[in-house]
Amino acid sequence: MTAPQGHHAQRPAAAGAPAAGAPLSRSRLAALTTLALIAFAGNSLLCRLALKTTAIDPATFTSVRIVAAAAMLWLIQHGRGGALRGGAGDWYAAFALIVYAAAFSFAYVGLPAGTGALLLFGAVQASMIGYALWSGERLHPRQWLGMMLALAGLVGLVLPGVAAPAPLSSLLMLAAGIAWGAYSLRGKRAADPAAATAGNFLRAVPFAAALSVSMQAHLSVDRAGVIYALVSGAITSGLGYVIWYAALKELRASSAATVQLSVPLIAALGGIALLNEPLTPRLVASATAILGGIAVVIVGKAKAA
């Protein structure tokens, strides 16, 4: 991803993100990664709430989400001292972003939440780790063990009791996972995470507009659904992705893929806190496996370094 030019690279970073080029301490990296993962879980909860409990259609939800994120990020960049230049972000990342956002929304119309999470984050892990191996990254045996443990915990969390997934919705969610993996990998090249994220979302707006025009016959605007989409765009997408891009600069692709397996778990915990869903023994066991597997990957990375 092309780095921003001139005085933009010298401005302080957006909220929660470090200045461009500044190294991150382990504690700061852990904090940023955790915040980003919470934001990702928030996106899942907001999308599920909107598409399952309101009348908003998935294309409108996607478009409002993208535009709200672009507006929030433009305000952040303006507050840093000026408008974006053409070098911030890139069209490849913007295309991956809109593919992820649209496929994610449309898939959840026909998928149970658990099945969707399994497909999405399984595809994310497979695509990012596949790229890591292709690009020469070598994994310690303990990292392989940790990834398998975390994935087993995820399967245990979402698989029991789910219905057989609809083929088209399943393909859409797999596409969303691959697109998100591609977007994350592009983010590792960003010199200025805030500027890159803003540029990507601004470039995604025309794609979102084209999506809405193409789906105009199915347009359904719902006040509550629009509010969910605005929060998803401005807060859990716009601010969350800035924080994620900042963390990505210090994460290997394999580690970035594995920690994202915690998102369905965080979403489940959010359901307990916000939707009064029960805390089950299966959730506790899955949480132990997922978090334990992530810890093994991180420790294995340190030993391999």
SS3 category, 90: coil
pLDDT of 300 reads: 63
Residues 100 and 1: their CA atoms lie apart, in Å, by 18
Which of 120, 128, 137, 89 lies closest to 245 in space, CA to CA? 89
Note the pTM of the prediction, 2 decimals.
0.77
Select from 254, 208, 189 the least CA-distant residue to 4: 189
| pLDDT (0 to 100) of residue 226 | 97
- Predicted confidence at residue 246, as pLDDT, reads 84
Tokens 């956002």 found at: 101
What pLDDT is attached to residue 274?
73
Q: 93-120 b/e with 16+ CB inside 10 Å = b?
A: bbbbbbbbbbbbbbbbebbbbbbbbbbb
pLDDT of the residue at 299: 67
- State the burial class of residue 85 (Cβ atoms within 10 Å of its Cβ: 0-12, 13-18, 19+): middle
DSSP 222: -
Distance (Å, whole) CA 147 – CA 136? 18
Residue 97 has a pLDDT of: 95
Give pLDDT, residue 208.
96
Closest to 183 (Cα-Cα) out of 240, 231, 226: 240
Contact of 173 with 104, CB cutoff 8 Å:
yes
Q: How many Å separate Cα 266 from the centre of its chain?
A: 13
What confidence tens digit (pLDDT) does each residue in 78-106 have?
Answer: 877 655 565 578 899 999 999 999 999 99
Burial of 167 (0-12, 13-18, 19+ CB in 10 A): exposed
Helix boundaries (H) for the chain? 26-53, 58-79, 91-110, 113-134, 141-158, 167-187, 193-214, 223-231, 240-248, 253-259, 263-275, 281-304
Residue 115: CA atoms inside 13 Å, Cβ hemisphere, count?
18
Q: What pLDDT sits at residue 213?
A: 94
pLDDT digits (tens, 9 = 90+) for 250-273: 887 778 877 887 887 787 777 777
Q: What is the mean pLDDT of each run of 10 residues along the chain (305 residues)?
A: 39 49 75 91 87 92 96 84 66 95 90 72 80 79 81 73 70 92 83 83 95 91 95 94 84 79 79 72 78 73 56
Tokens of 300: 């294995």
